[in-house]
């Protein structure tokens, strides 16, 4: 009896971006897919391969066409969308898979001032020993 690892699926977050309201989920890429993705990102003219790669990982999205009909998570569906949005989905998926936490919300407290900053400091007095020494 062997171990079958569960495939992780990430709910991508587009809050605070130009794509706020977009909902997309992607499965975690395998190590081989991560290596492939890196090669594709660094290769010129990799558009079709990059979008094919995305469709292998894309589980779902809430994208609709101009008539309000759902756009399928297929190569054709991905190709019918704005390239910048598709790249934003890829980037969000890579960020989620890498485990890099999202930035803290703007309402997050930044901590309290260091206690050293509130300790009153008076100028040091000249030591009698130092004042007698020639400069």
Q: pLDDT tens-digit profile of 97-120?
A: 877 555 555 555 555 655 555 556
**Quick one: tokens of 67?**
């008539």
Instruction: Say if residue 77 is exposed, middle or buried (CB neighbours under 10 Å; 0-12, 13-18, 19+).
Output: middle
Each domain of the chain, given as residue ranges in start order, spans 1-99
pTM of this prediction exceeds 0.85: no
Bridge partners of residue 24, in order along the sequence: 12, 61
Cβ contacts of residue 64 below 8 Å, gap of 6+?
A: 70, 71
Bridge partners of residue 58, in order along the sequence: 26
């Amino acid at each position: 009896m062997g171990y079958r690892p569960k495939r992780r699926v990430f709910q991508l977050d587009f809050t605070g971006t130009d794509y706020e309201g977009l909902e997309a989920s992607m499965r975690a890429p395998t190590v081989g897919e991560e290596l492939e993705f890196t090669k594709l990102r660094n290769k010129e003219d990799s558009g079709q391969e990059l979008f094919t790669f995305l469709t292998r990982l894309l589980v779902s999205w809430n994208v609709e066409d101009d008539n309000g009909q759902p756009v399928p998570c297929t190569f054709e569906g991905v190709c019918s969308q704005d390239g910048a949005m598709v790249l934003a989905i890829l980037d969000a998926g890579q960020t989620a898979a890498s485990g890099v936490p999202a930035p803290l919300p703007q309402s997050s407290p930044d901590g309290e001032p260091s206690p050293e900053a509130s300790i009153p400091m008076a100028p040091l007095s000249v030591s009698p020993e130092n004042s007698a020494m020639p400069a």
